């Protein structure tokens, strides 16, 4: 069976169109945050993966909220869909490495 090759443009479109895609993207990027970054809600290491410094606090809090409660509020989802788009390149790399 042939593996689908994803491109950043398609991933970006899906992140905007689907709440499920946006949340899956959020959790995928969160998984690349280091333990100390998760605990502090800050970007500490410049390692090319995870959230950037501007988004780290809010997106880490969204990821923790989702993992604890299983949902995001409509307001959180609106913010997430705006912010997660910039991570389409990282998500493309993650998707194509599996």
What does each of the 98 residues of the chain score in pLDDT, given as a tens digit? 677 899 999 999 999 999 999 999 999 999 887 676 666 655 655 656 788 888 989 999 999 999 999 999 999 999 999 999 999 999 999 999 86
Q: What is the pTM of this model?
A: 0.86
DSSP assignment of 12-26 equals HHHHHH-HHHHHHHH
Instruction: Say if residues 12 and 96 touch (Cβ distance below 8 Å).
Output: no
Q: Where are the domains of the chain?
A: 8-97
Cβ-based neighbour number of residue 79 at 10 Å? 16
The predicted pLDDT at position 45 comes to 54
Q: Which residues contact 91 (CB under 8 A, 6 or more apart)?
A: 6, 8, 11, 15, 25, 28, 29
Query: What local confidence, expressed as pLDDT, does residue 32 receive?
Result: 82
Q: What pLDDT sits at residue 33?
A: 77
Residue 16 to residue 45: CA distance in whole angstroms: 28
């Amino acid at each position: 069976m042939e593996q689908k090759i994803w491109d950043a443009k398609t991933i970006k479109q899906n992140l905007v169109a689907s709440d499920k895609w946006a949340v899956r993207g959020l959790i995928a990027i969160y998984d690349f945050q280091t333990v100390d970054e998760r605990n502090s809600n800050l970007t500490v290491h410049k390692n090319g993966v995870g959230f950037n410094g501007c988004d780290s606090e809010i997106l880490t809090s969204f990821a923790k909220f989702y993992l604890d409660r299983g949902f995001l509020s409509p307001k959180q989802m609106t913010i997430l869909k705006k912010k997660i788009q910039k991570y389409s390149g990282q998500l493309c790399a993650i998707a194509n490495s599996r």
